[in-house]
């Protein structure tokens, strides 16, 4: 049993400390990252021709700018480095892959995008 855990332990040791333990983010910061991940997933699915994703009327350039600005803001406010912000975005994107999660988050994310002035 322990022998099976050794490769996992080695992988965890290889991950930078900042990516291992997520920083305590505020609700606003989590929402910025969650919406950034949602916009990235929608853009990816739109590029693949996914009918549901094509139903979201979001300009790719605006969504991309939201992603960039939000990521930079959270990095600055929370003191995260690039591996840590990438890990946080990956966690949010992974969570949004649950059935119905992306559809549920898109209305508030679209409202946040519109309110951002981008």
CA 25 to chain centre: 13
Residue 1, pLDDT above cutoff 60:
no
pLDDT at res. 24:
86
Q: Quote the CA–CA distance of 93 and 109 in Å, as a whole number.
A: 14
Interval 8-64: pLDDT, tens = 434 444 445 444 445 689 999 999 999 999 999 999 999 999 999 999 988 888 999
Q: Which of 108, 118, 97 is closest to 35 using CA atoms?
A: 108
Interval 86-96: pLDDT, tens = 999 999 999 99
pTM of full prediction above 0.75 = yes
Q: Quote the CA–CA distance of 11 and 38 in Å, as a whole number.
A: 28
């Amino acid at each position: 049993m322990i022998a099976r855990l050794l490769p996992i332990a080695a992988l965890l040791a290889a991950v930078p400390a900042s990516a291992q333990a997520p920083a305590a983010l505020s609700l606003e910061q989590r929402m910025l990252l969650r919406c950034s991940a949602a916009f990235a997933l929608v853009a990816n699915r739109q590029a693949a021709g996914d009918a549901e994703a094509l139903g979201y009327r979001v300009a790719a350039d605006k969504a991309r700018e939201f992603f960039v600005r939000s990521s930079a803001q959270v990095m600055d406010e929370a003191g995260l480095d690039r591996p840590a912000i990438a890990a946080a975005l990956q966690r949010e994107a992974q969570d949004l892959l649950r059935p119905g999660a992306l559809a549920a988050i898109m209305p508030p994310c679209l409202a946040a995008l519109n309110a951002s002035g981008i």
